[in-house]
Amino acid sequence: DLFGPIARKLAANGLVTPKARIIVEKPIGKDGASAAAINDELGAVFSERRIFRIDHYLGKETVQNLMALRFANALFEPVWNSAHIDHVQITVAETIGVEKRADYYESAGALRDMVQNHMLQLLCLVAMEPPSAFAADALRDEKLKVLKALLPITDANASALTVRGQYRAGAVNGEAVPGYLEEIGKKSSSTETFVAIKAGVANWRFAGVPFYLRTGKRLPQRVSDIEVAFRPVPHAIFDGGSNTIPANRLVIRLQPDEGIKLWLMIKEPGPGGMRLQHVPLDMSFAETFTGHVPEAYERLVMDVIRGNQSLFMRRDEVEAAWRWIDPIREAWTRSGEPPRPYIAGTWGPAAAIALVERDGRTWNEDLAA
């Protein structure tokens, strides 16, 4: 690991001045113990307010707009709880394989590479309580509370709450692609390229609301989004009853086309009675804002220059995330079960679909099958 040696060399060569700041990017460790060791080494050279642990997902405009939606609009926060929200889905899908990162990916896998950082940060922004101010420590204090409230996944429930997979040869966007083993040049591997998890948050606001997370490589689309699925109306006055009326959904698209959709029930125009249709109020960032929208890294590097840590992870956040992730990894190792195969160009193993269908739900229907 180079974090510590680089920090020490910077100090030895007189480059650590009172105004110096250091940016570090994941993976910060491979487990809780190694993450703590890295943080100790960095902390021996730089104070915490000079360490910027970057997660580029937090620099995306739609991620920041999730906070604006929740805390700058009276519409959402009163219904942002288990009484009104049925479940939450977070999808981070990639069409690419491991490409030139085979050595790194073989030692990391999707759980460490994506879930421990990007996906848990997104979950925190959905589930956290309103901070006292839009300030670095106020935001990070609330995210830390969510990480500490995550229901543990251990040997006893890992098989029921998690699915891991590994892609085989298939086709993505009409082009034939090799399987993971062919890409890394091995006959076997226990490294997962796909993960689906049913997570829970043990707090007053979201107790009983499942958070379904899925991420993987060689999936049909490159897309990242958050779906907040609301509960159906308690009593339907229109024909067919409440079970036939789709519930409202809020979909925050992080990439590739950043935007926000709120799905509502609207009467179809014309005669013929009260025929309802499920339609989106669609706000596309590209259409709404015509000026230059900075890329995530542009925004975050500017925040480093300004000394603003609001969108950067604090040490205790990183280590709390690992405390939740480590038992999942350990449970998988002890089970001895290999990752489930899935064909490149599909949405992962069939078990990932079953993970949500067992609860009477489906993955985001906006994504093509």
In a domain, 363, yes or no: no
pLDDT number for residue 285: 79
Please determine, for residue 127, whether its predicted confidence score (pLDDT) is greater than 90. yes
Q: pTM value?
A: 0.93
Residue 247, SS3? coil
In a domain, 220, yes or no: yes
Judge if 199 and 321 occupy the same domain: yes
Residue 41 CB-density burial (10 A; 0-12 exposed, 13-18 middle, 19+ buried) = middle
**pLDDT (average), residues 68-96:** 94
Segment among 40-49, 241-250, 296-305 with least mean pLDDT = 241-250
Nearest CA among 289, 345, 292, 300 for reference residue 54: 300
pLDDT number for residue 83: 96
pLDDT number for residue 240: 60
Judge if 36 and 184 occupy the same domain: no
Segment among 128-142, 169-183, 229-243 with least mean pLDDT = 229-243
**pLDDT (average), residues 156-169:** 97
**pLDDT (average), residues 323-342:** 96
In a domain, 88, yes or no: yes
Q: From CA 23, how far away is CA 216, in angstroms rounded? A: 27
Judge if 32 and 113 occupy the same domain: no
Under the banding of pLDDT at 50, 70 and 90, the label for residue 238 is: confident
Range of the domain at 128: 55-357
- pLDDT more than 90, % of the chain: 72
Judge if 314 and 189 occupy the same domain: yes
SS (H, E, C) 308-359: CCCCCECHHHHHHHHHHHHHHHHHHHHHCCCCEEEECCCCCCHHHHHHHHCC
Q: How many domains does the chain have?
A: 2
Under the banding of pLDDT at 50, 70 and 90, the label for residue 345 is: very high
**pLDDT (average), residues 215-244:** 85
Judge if 131 and 22 occupy the same domain: no
In a domain, 362, yes or no: no
Mean pLDDT of the chain: 91
In a domain, 258, yes or no: yes
> Residue 238: which CATH number?
3.30.360.10
Which of 35, 54, 73 is the last residue before a domain boundary?
A: 54
Q: From CA 63, how far away is CA 329, in angstroms rounded? A: 27
In a domain, 90, yes or no: yes
Question: Which residues are CB-contacts of 103 (< 8 A; sequence separation ≥ 6)?
Answer: none
Judge if 50 and 101 occupy the same domain: no
Judge if 65 and 49 occupy the same domain: no
Judge if 152 and 247 occupy the same domain: yes
Residue 266, SS3? strand
Judge if 10 and 133 occupy the same domain: no
Among 84, 87, 118, 292, the active-site one is 118
Nearest CA among 316, 365, 353 for reference residue 137: 316
Judge if 44 and 72 occupy the same domain: no
> pLDDT tens digit string along 202-212?
999 999 999 99
Under the banding of pLDDT at 50, 70 and 90, the label for residue 368 is: very low
In a domain, 108, yes or no: yes
Which of 34, 54, 74 is the last residue before a domain boundary?
A: 54
Judge if 11 and 97 occupy the same domain: no
> pLDDT tens digit string along 280-302?
888 887 788 877 778 889 999 99
> pLDDT tens digit string along 171-213?
999 999 999 999 999 999 999 999 999 999 999 999 999 999 9
Judge if 152 and 114 occupy the same domain: yes
In a domain, 23, yes or no: yes
Please determine, for residue 369, whether its predicted confidence score (pLDDT) is greater than 60. no
Query: Is residue 118 among the annotated active site residues?
Result: yes
pLDDT number for residue 365: 65
Under the banding of pLDDT at 50, 70 and 90, the label for residue 239 is: low
User: Cis before residue 27, ω within 30 degrees of 0?
Assistant: yes
